[in-house]
Amino acid sequence: MPELPEVETVCRGLAPVLEGRVLEAVTVRRPDLRFLLPPDFAERLRGRRVERIRRRAKFILMEMAGGPVAILHLGMSGRMRFVAPGEELAPGRHDHLIFGTDHGYRVVFNDARRFGIAAYAEAERLEEHEFLADLGPEPLSNAFSGPVLAAALSGRRTPIKAALLDQRVVAGLGNIYVCEALYRAGLSPRRRAYTVQKGRAERLAAAVRQVLTDAIAAGGTTLRDFARPDGELGYFQHAFRVYGREGQDCPREGCSGAVRRIVQSGRSSFFCPTCQR
């Protein structure tokens, strides 16, 4: 469900509620997410002050004073919401974690499909943590560029679609934004990754940055149920050019083609065969 823009949106929504606050209560209602929670997860965090909420790839990092870091991943269906002081929190079936602060807010991690992750690290070892160690560059940082992308794609015969979903190539993209970035770059999802070099890699890197920036500005994408922690919805879905638009006209002025849907490694790819080569 959530890709980089949605996770960024979640982090921005959580920061004002959590940063500077002490976690007075950490409740684990169900420990068996995709990876079993460390047994001492709650105890390690309880009583600590949250210094900063930030994002790496699709991970939410809750950095606590003194070194502990909670690493959260929303998987496919994960959501974070907060409940204000005085509001009733009736925990649902899929509310797996609840963080209660010293000013009475509660932050709830909900994940119906349980593809999500909750893990724990110490700050000085964070980069080496198994979930973070192999991630590629952040696409909105200076570490990402056309040449960097070209280098990561060289020698790879897999379709560019699959390569961009590989978090080691570039961190944070998922099915929606890969489709949209490839459309903006004019590249077919079926093109072999190693053929994306020089100018094509420049165009693709620029398209990735642009689509992610636009999506963050729109508060992410709400297809079914994604929502910000305060309950507001994202609206980038209205800016989709190809995702979910099978059979509809290509949005490019002067193009008479229609958006096609194909399946690549088990996932839908949407593209315009005329504009994307």
* Catalytic center residues: 2-3, 58, 267
CB of 190 to DNA, least distance (A): 9
Q: For DNA, give the closer residue by CB, 23 or 160.
A: 160
117 strand-pairing partners: 73
Under rule CB under 7 A, which residues in 215-234 are in contact with DNA?
A: 220-226, 234
- How near is the Cβ of 275 to DNA at its closest, in Å? 21
Stretch that binds DNA, among 15-23, 101-109, 112-120, 198-206 (CB under 7 A): 112-120
145 binds DNA (CB under 7 A): no
Give 21 or 245: the residue with its C-beta nearer to DNA. 245
- Lookup: tokens for 222: 């709400």
Question: Among 137, 146, 174, 189, which residue sits at the site for DNA (rule: CB under 7 A)?
Answer: 174
Whole-angstrom distance, CA of residue 88 vs CA of residue 130: 37
By CB under 7 A, tell whether 189 contacts DNA.
no
- Annotate 90-115 with DSSP letters as a single string: ---TTEEEEEEETTS-EEEEEESS--
Contact 217, 43 (CB under 8 A): no
Q: Give phi and psi for 270, each to the nearest 5.
A: -115, 135
Looking at 73-197, list the stretches that DSSP marks H as alpha helix, in order from N- to C-terminal side.
Answer: 146-153, 160-165, 175-185
Q: Which one, of 160, 199, 167, lies nearest residue 183 by Cα?
A: 160
Cβ atoms of 72 and 14 within 8 Å: the answer is no
193 touches DNA by CB under 7 A: yes
- The verdict on 110 binding DNA (CB under 7 A) reads no
**Span of 12-20, 139-147, 166-174, 252-260 interacting with DNA by CB under 7 A:** 166-174
Half-sphere exposure of 236 (CA within 13 A, CB side): 25
Find the binder of DNA among 90, 128, 142, 157 (CB under 7 A): 157
Exactly one of 22, 112, 206, 258 binds DNA (CB under 7 A); that residue is 112
In 3D space, the residue among 95, 97, 92 whose CA is nearest the CA of residue 38 turns out to be: 97
Q: Which residues have a Cβ under 8 Å from the Cβ of 128 and sit 6 or more positions away?
A: none
Contact 189, 160 (CB under 8 A): yes
Q: Is 235 one of the binding residues for DNA (CB under 7 A)?
A: no
Q: Is 95 in the site for DNA (CB under 7 A)?
A: no
Closest CA to 31 of 96, 119, 100: 96
* Interface residue with DNA, options 136, 137, 146, 159 (CB under 7 A): 159
Q: Map residues 241-260 to x or -, x wherever contact with DNA holds by CB under 7 A.
A: --------------------
Residues within the interface to DNA (CB under 7 A)? 1-3, 6, 34, 57-58, 73, 75-77, 93-94, 112-115, 131, 155-159, 162, 165, 167, 173-176, 193, 220-226, 234, 264-268
